[in-house]
Structure 1
Amino acid sequence: MSKGVLLVNLGSPDSPEPKDVKKYLGEFLMDERVIDVPLWARNLLVKGIILNTRPKASAAAYKKIWWEEGSPLIVISERLKSKVQEQVDFPVALAMRYGSMTIKKGLQELVDKGVDEVFLIPLYPQFAMATTETILVLAEDIRKEHFPDLKISDLPAFYNDDDYIEVLSNSIKKNLEGKNYDHLLFSYHGVPERHIRKRDITKSHCKIDGSCCVIPSPAHEFCYRHQCLEVTRLVAKKLSLKDDTYSSSFQSRLGFDPWLLPYTDRTIERLGKEGLKNMAIATPAFVSDCLETLEEIAMEGEEIFHEMGGKEFTTVPCLNDDEEWVALLAKWIKKWSN
């Protein structure tokens, strides 16, 4: 068997122009694992409302963070791929779940190099319907239709992997060295509460009541909320953080259904109102900086904090192409290949 690796991240519009943003949002929001309502309702919501109102505002947000080389998420992911390729002996390709860098193109690139066994790595530490699951389902559909002889295996969620926690903790510590902060907020991408309940394999454990995530259960294998809170707990332990100096929150909600609490923007607002003057924020649901970290957190979040009387607002970069993170990915790939 000839082996190869496919790194898969979320994706990005081809440009920050409204037409490209609209196309990207259309693909993203019409995914049944992102907005998990019946097709007629999804069509009405996405094509009838969101795509007629949101692209212009989203394009303005993308323009704020766009780099000369292109989308930060794409550029960072390409740098990561290149560095990983330097450390392993077989082909490494990069794909995105949404946008023009498709999973089909990534698999084709590997097949064209003679690969018949692929290690697919979703670049998400935690499992979620709208991230890991949608990547794996689409990859399998593409394999069946276009590459029936291809064997694909994947990297499971690595949120509690000791090496990952070590790398993440080291990155946070390094980036906060010499910074002035009294509270560290771990902000994770939000999902609707129903996503948690839908992926509860026990059909009864996930009550989202404040205790279910700390009670051992098979449900935790697919519980995004548990996995996020576990990252916070493990990093806090590794960094010896005191209980009242850190917390977790969830960002980027959409629509009116209940989403995971507490919300990041409200948490930043509350901390400022309570008199906190200096805070730092890390975003461990992402391994690559993107719109949600560079604009929503580093710009909008800081603005909220300052409006509430806060002074210093420090944003911890994602792992991006950090050398320890690259080495860990290479280690996992080599372990798979043996």
Structure 2
Amino acid sequence: MKKGVLLVNLGSPDSPEPKDVKKYLGEFLMDERVIDVPLWARTLLVKGIILNTRPKASAKAYQKIWWDEGSPLIVISERLQKSIQKKTDLPVSLAMRYGSMTIKKGLQELVDKGVDEVFLIPLYPQFAMATTETILVLAEEIRQAHFPQIKIQDLKAFYNDSNYIEVLSNSIAKHLKDKDYEHLLFSYHGVPERHIRKSDITKSHCKIDGSCCATASPAHEFCYRHQCKEVTRLVAEKLNLKEETYSTSFQSRLGFDPWLRPYTDRTIERLGKEGVKKMAIVTPAFVSDCLETLEEIAMEGEEIFHEMGGKEFTTVPCLNDDQEFVDLISKWINQWATTETVVV
């Protein structure tokens, strides 16, 4: 069998114009694993309300962060793919869960090169319904419908892999080396609380309280909240951070249902009100900088902090195409190429 690799990230509109943003948001928000309500309700909410109000505002946000080369997330993902390709003999393709760079196109590219065994790498350290799961489900549907001759094996969530934690910690330390900050905020993409309960394979462990994430359970294999908190704990341990100098929060909530708390914007407000003058923020739910990191955090977050009296607001870039990160993914790929198993 000939092996190949498919990297999959979130995706992006084709341009920062409202019509392209609307098309992208429609695909993204109509995903039943993103807005997990009955189809009739999702259709009413997305097509009846959101797509009639949000595209123009989102387009303005995209326009603030758009690069000459295109969408930052796409450009960065392409750089990552090209860097990884230089370190492995296997063909490496890139796809997005949403947008025009489809998973079907990515698989077709590999099949055209004679590949019949694919190592699928969702570019998310933590598992969540709205990220890893939706990628894996769609990839399998596409495989069955269009490429039944190929075999797909996926990389498991690598949030607690010691090598990943070292790479992430090194990146944070490097970017904060000459920064005099008082508090480091670990901000993760938010999800509705019900997603956590739905992902609980034990159907009883996840209480979303102060103890369940710290109590050992098989549920943690698919618990996004636990995995985020574990990244914070492991990095803090690696960097020898004092407990009072860091915290965890969740960003990008949508709608009125309860989402994971504490919320990032309100945490930034609180830190400013409490007298923190210098803060730094890192976003470990993403491996590539995107709208959420470049606009929501680096622009809106900084504005909130200054309004609350803060002085210095430092954002740590995502891993992007950091050479240590490239080396780590390449190591996993080459390990899979020879053994078909990757321990993370």
Conserved 8 A contact 1:289-1:320: yes
Cα distance between partner residues in 2 of 1:291 and 1:210: 31
Matched letter for residue 13 of structure 1: P
Cα distance between partner residues in 1 of 2:71 and 2:54: 19
1:90 CA displacement: 1.1
Deviations 1:185-233 (A, max 9, x none): 0000000000000010110000001110000000000000000000000
1:323 CA displacement: 0.1
Cα distance between partner residues in 1 of 2:233 and 2:98: 31
| Aligned residue in 2 for 1:140 | 140
| Aligned residue in 1 for 2:342 | none
Deviations 1:74-97 (A, max 9, x none): 000000000000000010000000
Q: TM-score, normalising length from structure 1?
A: 1.00
Cα distance between partner residues in 1 of 2:60 and 2:116: 42
Cα distance between partner residues in 2 of 1:154 and 1:217: 23
| Aligned residue in 1 for 2:203 | 203
Cα distance between partner residues in 2 of 1:56 and 1:294: 18
SS in 1 for 2:86: helix
Matched letter for residue 199 of structure 2: R
| Aligned residue in 2 for 1:221 | 221
Find out whether 1:108 has 2:108 as its counterpart: yes
RMSD across aligned C-alpha pairs, in angstroms? 0.3
| Aligned residue in 2 for 1:126 | 126
Find out whether 1:70 has 2:73 as its counterpart: no
| Aligned residue in 1 for 2:4 | 4
Please, which runs of 5 or more residues in structure 1 have no aligned partner? none
Cα distance between partner residues in 1 of 2:223 and 2:210: 14
1:152 CA displacement: 0.3
Cα distance between partner residues in 1 of 2:140 and 2:59: 32
| Aligned residue in 2 for 1:247 | 247
Conserved 8 A contact 1:77-1:288: yes
| Aligned residue in 2 for 1:98 | 98
| Aligned residue in 2 for 1:154 | 154
Aligned counterparts, 1:259-298, within 5 A: 259-298=259-298
Conserved 8 A contact 1:84-1:326: yes
Deviations 1:98-152 (A, max 9, x none): 0000000000000000000000000000000000000000000000000001000
Cα distance between partner residues in 2 of 1:254 and 1:41: 15
SS in 2 for 1:46: helix
Aligned counterparts, 1:177-188, within 5 A: 177-188=177-188
SS in 2 for 1:87: coil
| Aligned residue in 1 for 2:320 | 320
Cα distance between partner residues in 2 of 1:3 and 1:175: 36
Matched letter for residue 100 of structure 2: S
Conserved 8 A contact 1:184-1:247: yes
Question: How many positions carry a matched residue from both structures?
Answer: 338
| Aligned residue in 2 for 1:257 | 257
Matched letter for residue 191 of structure 1: V
Conserved 8 A contact 1:126-1:285: yes
Matched letter for residue 280 of structure 1: A
Cα distance between partner residues in 2 of 1:12 and 1:210: 35
- Percent identity between matched residues is 85
Matched letter for residue 41 of structure 1: A
Cα distance between partner residues in 2 of 1:72 and 1:300: 18
Please, which runs of 5 or more residues in structure 2 have no aligned partner? 339-344
Deviations 1:26-76 (A, max 9, x none): 000000000000000000000000000000000000000000000000000
SS in 2 for 1:169: helix
1:244 CA displacement: 0.1
Cα distance between partner residues in 1 of 2:209 and 2:239: 27
Cα distance between partner residues in 2 of 1:238 and 1:299: 28
Conserved 8 A contact 1:9-1:77: yes
Matched letter for residue 336 of structure 1: W
| Aligned residue in 1 for 2:341 | none
Matched letter for residue 261 of structure 2: L
Conserved 8 A contact 1:180-1:312: no
1:180 CA displacement: 1.8
Cα distance between partner residues in 1 of 2:10 and 2:210: 29
Aligned counterparts, 1:7-18, within 5 A: 7-18=7-18
